[in-house]
Amino acid sequence: MKNIFKIFLIGVIGSLIVSCEGDDEKLVLSNTSKGSLSSDKASVVLNETIADQAAVTFTYTNPTFSPNVAFTNSVELAVAGSDFKPSVIQDVPMDQNTFSLTHLQLNNILASLNVAPNTAKPIEVRLKSSLNSATFYYSNVITVNITGYTPNPDLIYPKINVPGGYAGAAGYADWDPGNSPNLFSPGKNDKYRGFIYVTSPNSEYKFTINQDWAGDKGDDGTFTGKLVESGEQNIKAVTGGTYYINVDWAANTYSSIIANFGIIGDATPTGWASDTDFVYNPATKTFVINSIALSSSGIFKFRANDDWGMKFQPASADETLVSGTAIQTYLSSEGTVSGDPNYKVGVPGNYKIELDLHNSAYYKLTLTKL
């Protein structure tokens, strides 16, 4: 009896093995048709002024499988000829057969692919259908020539406004939140900073957001750096000059210090003994030294209040300035400077110097040989 039972059990197990092998054969997945992708443009020049609008619209069809299986779609973009290494992935909705990428999205994709702005670049695009983290099916590859742009820091960083009675003389409009100097947030958080220029002592100002009076803030009346929205008082600039202002909008605090800048260094006529000061130009809203002799054998820096507490310095690649070429410059007190770099010119002569401080996320310096 025991032997008969063993023979029966072996037979049952054998039949199960054959059945499983048959099931495995039935579960072989077949990609019965590939996905397809097309676009409404063969080339596009991206435009920051319409950054949120669609730049290119794609039409796609899903791949089909037998048996039917669940999958997700994305679109993969890469520089033509790179074999999609590296690439950028964008998710694609599953409930429609078209999708668009905006000017901003495509410009960010170009930046991720290390594509230089203002030059047309062929970008390959394909539909990527994913069954799991390791199984992918691809559509045909299309090419779109895309020209990117250099982002305008005035448009991509949050800002608050500084309307006041000083603004008209600085090239803006008095007490107009929509036409006043701004403080920007380089960290894209609630912390804002920047410069205003005041001509008259006791000039007053406040802080607004969204270029409107709604939600404006002023001093709480103690003039100890505390902001309130209700019952606020105007803040006063005690003397004329350039002010460096920091505002923590969420914490309702602010600080304001005088910061009048000049150039100093052994490349200048007065060497390290004294500074040559900038003059504010309300027409251009920049700080200017209209003419100064600079030697190519020396160096120079830009500092505030004839002191070293605040100074503008270059990135290491920009230490030697080229006439007429604007570069980003950095304020040491903001923690954006590595080491102690200096400026210099490669060609001696008289120069016009222009310092543009209107956006604290991108201070700009231009030297032009006269």
Q: pLDDT per position in the chain (370 positions), as tens?
A: 444 444 444 443 344 443 444 444 556 888 888 889 999 999 999 999 899 999 999 999 988 888 888 888 899 999 999 999 999 999 988 888 999 999 999 999 998 999 999 999 999 999 999 888 788 889 999 999 999 998 899 988 999 999 999 999 999 999 999 999 999 999 999 999 999 999 999 999 999 999 999 999 999 999 999 999 999 999 999 999 999 999 999 999 999 999 999 999 999 999 999 999 999 999 999 999 999 999 999 999 999 999 999 999 999 889 999 999 999 999 999 999 989 999 999 999 999 999 999 999 999 999 999 9
Q: Tally DSSP H helices, then E strands, for the chain.
A: 3, 31
Whole-Å CA distances, 320 to 106, 185, 295, 314, 343: 33, 29, 12, 9, 6
Write down the CATH number for the domain with range 261-369.
2.60.40
The predicted model scores a pTM of 0.74
Pairing type for strands 191-198 and 207-209 reads unpaired
Which CATH architecture group holds 153-258?
Answer: Sandwich (2.60)
Write down the CATH number for the domain with range 30-147.
2.60.40.10
Domain with CATH 2.60.40.10 in the chain: 30-147, 153-258
Length of the chain as a residue count: 370
